[in-house]
Amino acid sequence: MTSENIWYHSTNGKADRVSFSEALLKGLAPDKGLYMPDHIPQINDHIIRSLSGKPYADIAFEIARHFLRGEIPENDLRHLVDDAYNFEVPLEKVVDRNYIMRLDQGPTASFKDFAARMMGRLMQYFLKKQNRNMLILTATSGDTGSAIANAFYGLDNIRVVILYPENEVTPRQRKQMTTLRRNIKIIALKGKFDDCQALVKQAFTDPDLEYLNLSSANSINIGRLIPQSFYYFYAWAQLARPDEDIIFSVPSGNFGNMMGGLIARKMGLPVRKMIIATNENDEVPVYWRTGNYKTIVPSKNCVSSAMNVGHPSNMARVVSLYGGVMDEKGNITVEPDVKQMHKDIYAVSISDSQTTETLKATYNRYQVITEPHGAAGWAGLMQYYSDNPSEATGRLAVCLETAHPAKFPEEIRRLLGIDPPLPASLEGLDELEESFDKLDHDYQHFKEYLKDRF
Ligand SMILES: *Cc1c(COP(=O)(O)O)cnc(C)c1O
């Protein structure tokens, strides 16, 4: 460790500060808080301008380098980044200077590939160096699981257990997890996503399971968060005129994605506004409007199923970034700078009918195919414009498309009457054989399951 290293503290403030590699391999802090960097490295204007037009991997390396100084030699880091980011990141113009960034060209056609591939390679790097093994335990509402399973598939030092709510993922999402096998075990839980998340969280604090060396690959892991800042820089670097700022609209569930954007902004990226679009799980937009944060239990089922979250796990980080403290239950014990938060971030809840209407309208008016999550993002931008008419012309804005439309074929067929073209990464899935276990929502059963098998 050198004096340049960034240390990581827990949002609950009751755990020791750790290095990046410790935070990465631990996941959740021992006091149930989330790791945050003590300071966010600044990238000077000159470097930010020099990113203009550069390829994705070059930009990712430049940002990563600032966070990982002293933790990993630059040659090794460059190799990890090149290996992780070997696919396209299309920016599709919709109308005027409003774009959709398609984060759906990775191996599981989900934006979660961006974080999972980088995190997997970083974990492998540090585990090998320390000669250790690890069991990754992850709850998923669909896309996290497949991205994690694919990113970790076949690695020697790492085994993976993924829990999904049995009725809340699409057949295709399920098959992206259940057809892998080897070091990847999949559990279909009779419950909701929040139940899966609760079991995982309990296992992490169970002393009887310490021997497993558990770690999370959920969006609570700092190793997922940092890579999710790279594509914000990329979008700006491809599209912005010199000195132009940019609006982002992010369809949000656990708020890991938007948190990456807030980090990019803190690093120096000229972000004019972060728009966060939730579905009908509107606890955060309500908090913005009323100042009262109240979790939604159980979470509501919406068409944008990966956003069915009644208490975003990264909310504590958002509050922390603005100087406040939120505990793991959602209680705010120290108020954040609400004024600044509202200035930077516009929060809006998009109903299911708005989502499906928007999905149809973007296709009919602009021939742009979205899916329910990306459509919520676009609807969020439109809502922002109608609330702020002076913003509505001439601004550069990018909506994040977080999954490939082909991952939701029934929905797209129903709404648009077409079959979205299948990306290469999803071809051939239907012929593969599935393998998974079913469990009740019961911690003791889950614990025995883990102890029997590992
Ligand atoms: C996970 C996911 C989201 C939500 O991302 P968060 O980082 O949890 O806010 C949105 N869309 C899709 C398709 C996802 O898989």
By most ligand atoms within 8 Å of CB, the mutation choice from 168, 307, 348 for ligand 1 is 307
Atom of ligand 1 minimally distant from the CA of 228: 7
Query: Would you kindly state where each structural domain of the chain is located, as residue ranges?
Result: 90-454
- Separation between Cα atoms, residue 141 and residue 322, nearest integer Å: 28
Q: Name the pairing type of β-strands 8-10 and 35-37.
A: antiparallel
- The yes or no reply on domain 90-454 and CATH 3.40.50.1100 is yes
274-289: average pLDDT: 98
Q: Indicate the pTM of the whole model.
A: 0.91
Q: Give the span between the Cα atoms of 99 and 394, in whole angstroms.
A: 12
Identify the band that residue 220 occupies on the pLDDT scale cut at 50, 70 and 90.
Answer: confident
Which of 100, 111, 220, 318 has most ligand 1 atoms within 8 Å of CB, for mutation? 111
Q: Is 256 in the pocket of ligand 1 (CB under 6 A)?
A: yes
Cα(105) to ligand 1 centroid in Å equals: 15
Apex CA 221: angle with CA 321 and CA 28, to 5°?
A: 90
3-state secondary structure of 361: helix
Strand, helix or coil for residue 149: helix
**Which of 141, 150, 254, 400 for mutating ligand 1's site (highest number of atoms within 8 Å of CB)?**
254
Query: Which ligand 1 atom is nearest residue 373's CA?
Result: 11
Q: What is the model's pLDDT at position 28?
A: 85
The count of other CB atoms within 10 Å of the CB of residue 386 is 10
What is the 281 CA–ligand 1 centroid distance (Å)?
Answer: 13
* Residue 78, pLDDT score: 97
Q: What is the pLDDT of residues 94-117, one digit of tens each?
A: 999 999 999 999 989 999 999 999
Q: Determine the pLDDT at residue 179.
A: 95
pLDDT tens column, 414-450: 999 999 988 888 888 888 999 999 999 999 999 999 9
Ligand 1 centroid distance, CA of 19 (Å): 27
Give the three-state DSSP class for 335.
coil
